[in-house]
Amino acid sequence: MKSNNPHNIGSLTNYQRSLTKGHIVDSSIKSHGIFLSFSPLDPEFSPGHHIVDNFSNCFSFNLVNKREENQNKLRSQELDKMVLHCSSDPLSALVVTDASIKNDIAISISHIHSFNRPIVKTVHHASFVTSMEAELFAIRCGINQACSIDNFSKIVIVTDSIHVAKRIFDCDSHPYQIHSATILSELCSFFLSHESNTIEFWECPSKLRWRFHYDANKDSKSFSVSPSYPSKTSWDFCKKSDCDKLTKLWKMTFQASDGKGNQFLDLLDDDLNVIEPSYSKGGPWLQAFGHSNSLCARAVRAITNHTPIGEYRLRFFPNMDFECPCNNYPIETRRHILHECRRFNGYWNPRRDMLSHFVMFLTANPNAFAFTNN
């Protein structure tokens, strides 16, 4: 954590050091200690109290239709229409939430509008929490504020992190239970106070730059807060920083050729960057070809160059035949197969160093890097 903290003594410039008066204590050593995240025995999670069972008609999610071609434009129109509805209804509260993280300080923002006018803005900051926690906290504040204003009967939450909002209704153990429990208890009272009270969660990706959300987003980035020490760290943040450290080490080991082997085929992503290991969604390679066992087997053989071709036989069984069956090349190498050999031309593209094109090549040439009888 020391090295990540921009405020630790080691990161001070000589000029900053010369300005420092009195004793200096490295505050990052004081930022340990984890704050409580779990609340599995909370009454909101006990059987019979689940909000999904008792008030299933009172809340709903309005998601982006990802199958739609014009999804961004369409979404902005839907959001505009929803605002129009809300602003003509005095009982509706529009709550727009966002969060951002700068120098390990998270800013959670919620803006509440009624009748098309801003009525409440809340800003909170916290050190050493993850963006998911900050987003959920912004939603929690928005709901809390909206519920505390007497006459609203419909609350509309607009967020770019709809997956976070869904966690509110997740009764399994997860690191945001403390927030979920508070929100659920607030919502239960809200639904009980009048039978027509409802809440809607609207997904609004930040890339839409939809005006209300864009304002909240701009606000969340405009604050510059210095961390006040000692501060505690959330359980999820500890997990994340450990994970980041491990991934860094993993990438370093992988880049050194002895980690991945000399024969490893470096492939590029769609932005032409060399693909690096990652644990998310099974890693970048398996995402591209993990759906088919045979494709995956051939891809792994080709990438590791551990495959039934002449180049491999020349290395391990030099007495065997290693010439390419096309009779145009003395050694059947991986490079030759991928880029030149006329036996494999089902799919042609000069960029077979890109993972996506590499997979297309393998799909179009089912015999490439496969064990065949001939």
Task: Name the site residues for Zn ion (rule: CB under 5 A).
Answer: 324, 326, 329, 341
**Complex with Zn ion: residue 51 or 337, whichever CB lies closer:** 337
Rounded distance, CA 109 to CA 216, Å? 7
Rounded distance, CA 218 to CA 164, Å? 20
**Complex with Zn ion: residue 45 or 312, whichever CB lies closer:** 312
**Complex with Zn ion: residue 202 or 361, whichever CB lies closer:** 361
Cis peptide before 330 (omega within 30 of 0): no
**Complex with Zn ion: residue 156 or 341, whichever CB lies closer:** 341
Rounded distance, CA 225 to CA 6, Å? 13
Taking the complex as a whole, the smallest distance from the CB of residue 328 to Zn ion amounts, in Å, to 5
Taking the complex as a whole, the smallest distance from the CB of residue 324 to Zn ion amounts, in Å, to 3
- Secondary structure letter of residue 364 according to DSSP: H
Taking the complex as a whole, the smallest distance from the CB of residue 349 to Zn ion amounts, in Å, to 18
Strand order in the sheet with 92-102: 59-62, 198-203, 154-159, 92-102, 105-114, 117-127
CB 182 within 8 A of CB 226: no
Q: Please name which of 271, 277, 273, 242 lies closest in space to residue 259, comparing C-alpha atoms.
A: 277
Q: Please name which of 247, 174, 158, 265 lies closest in space to residue 211, comparing C-alpha atoms.
A: 158
Taking the complex as a whole, the smallest distance from the CB of residue 310 to Zn ion amounts, in Å, to 9
**Complex with Zn ion: residue 238 or 326, whichever CB lies closer:** 326
Using a 10 angstrom Cβ sphere, with 0-12 exposed, 13-18 middle and 19 or more buried, the burial of residue 329 is middle
**Complex with Zn ion: residue 235 or 329, whichever CB lies closer:** 329
Taking the complex as a whole, the smallest distance from the CB of residue 339 to Zn ion amounts, in Å, to 10
Contacts of residue 272, defined as CB under 8 A and 6 or more positions apart, other chains included, come to 354
**Complex with Zn ion: residue 114 or 333, whichever CB lies closer:** 333
Taking the complex as a whole, the smallest distance from the CB of residue 214 to Zn ion amounts, in Å, to 56
Please work out, in degrees rounded to the nearest 5, the angle formed at the alpha carbon of residue 152 by the alpha carbons of 148 and 157: 85
Taking the complex as a whole, the smallest distance from the CB of residue 329 to Zn ion amounts, in Å, to 5
Rounded distance, CA 267 to CA 286, Å? 13
Taking the complex as a whole, the smallest distance from the CB of residue 327 to Zn ion amounts, in Å, to 8
**Complex with Zn ion: residue 214 or 329, whichever CB lies closer:** 329
How crowded is residue 89: how many other Cβ atoms within 10 Å of its Cβ? 14
